[in-house]
Structure 1
Amino acid sequence: MRKLWMTLLVATSVIALAGCARLPVGAPAAMQSTGAETITVTGYGEANGDPDVLTVEVGVSVSSTDISQAVASSNTTIERITGALGELGIDENDVQTTGFNVWPEDIYSPATGSPTGEKNYRVDSTLRVKVRQVDQAGAVLEAVIKNGANNIYGMTFGVQDTASLASQARTAAIADARVRAAQLAKELGVTLGEVQKAAEVSGGPIYPAYAAMGLGGGGEVPVAPGQITVSISVEVTFGVTR
Structure 2
Amino acid sequence: MSLTKTRNFALSAVMGATLLAVAGTTAFAEDANPRQAVIVVSGEGQSAIAPDTALVTLSVVKQAKSAHDALDENNKAMGAVLATLKDSGIAERDLQTSGFSIQPQYNYSNGTNGQPQPPELIGYQATNSVSVRVRDLAKLGSLIDQAVGLGINQGGDIQFINDKPDAVLDEARKNAVANALAKARTLSEAAGVKLGRVIEISEDSNRPAPQPVFRAAMMKQATDSVPVQSGENTYNVTVTITYSIEQ
Report the TM range for the smaller structure's normalisation: 0.7 to 0.9
SS in 1 for 2:168: helix
In 2, the alpha carbon distance for the partners of 1:189 and 1:109 equals 79
Over residues 120-169 of structure 1, what are the superposed CA-to-partner deviations in whole Å (9 max), with x where a residue is unaligned?
11111111111011122111111111111110101101011121111101
Q: Which residue number corresponds to residue 201 of structure 2? A: 199
Is the 8 Å Cα contact of residues 201 and 242 (structure 2) preserved in structure 1? no
Percent identity among equivalent residues?
24
Query: If the length of structure 1 is used for normalisation, what is the TM-score?
Result: 0.78
After superposition, give the CA deviation of every residue in 1:86-128 in whole Å (9 maximum; x if it has no partner): 2221112211112111121224579858457443111111111
Partner of 1:165: 168
Report the secondary structure of 1:226's partner residue.
coil
Is 1:42 the counterpart of 2:45 in the alignment? no
5+ long unaligned stretches in structure 2: 1-8
For 1:7-22, list aligned pairs within 5 A.
none
Distance 2:246 2:108 in 1: 83
Q: Distance in 2 between matches of 1:68 and 1:169?
A: 53
Which residue of the partner structure matches residue 220 of structure 1? 225
TM-score, normalising length: structure 2: 0.76
Larger radius of gyration: 2
Aligned position for 1:79: 79
Q: How does 1:64-213 map to 2 (within 5 A)?
A: 64-107=64-107, 114=117, 117-193=120-196, 195-202=197-204, 204-212=205-213
Which of 229, 232, 245 pairs up with 1:240? 245
Displacement of 1:231 after TM fit?
2.2
Cα distance in 1 for residues equivalent to 2:65 and 2:153: 20
Aligned to 1:61: 61
Return the alpha-carbon distance in structure 2 between the equivalents of residues 60 and 182 of structure 1. 59
Letter of the 1:155 counterpart: I
AA at the equivalent of 1:148 = G
Counterpart amino acid of residue 172 in structure 2: A
Q: Distance in 2 between matches of 1:83 and 1:142?
A: 15
Residues 42 and 236, structure 1, Cα contact 8 Å, conserved in 2 = yes
Higher deviation after alignment, 64-73 or 114-123 = 114-123
2-structure distance, mates of 1:87, 1:102: 28
> Aligned equivalents of 2:174 and 2:126: distance in 1?
51
**AA paired with 1:207?**
P
Change (3 A) 1:41 1:30: farther
Whether the aligned pair in 2 keeps the contact of 1:212 and 1:224 (CA below 8 Å) is no
Partner of 1:89: helix, strand, or coil?
Answer: coil
* Distance apart, 1:72 and its partner CA: 0.5
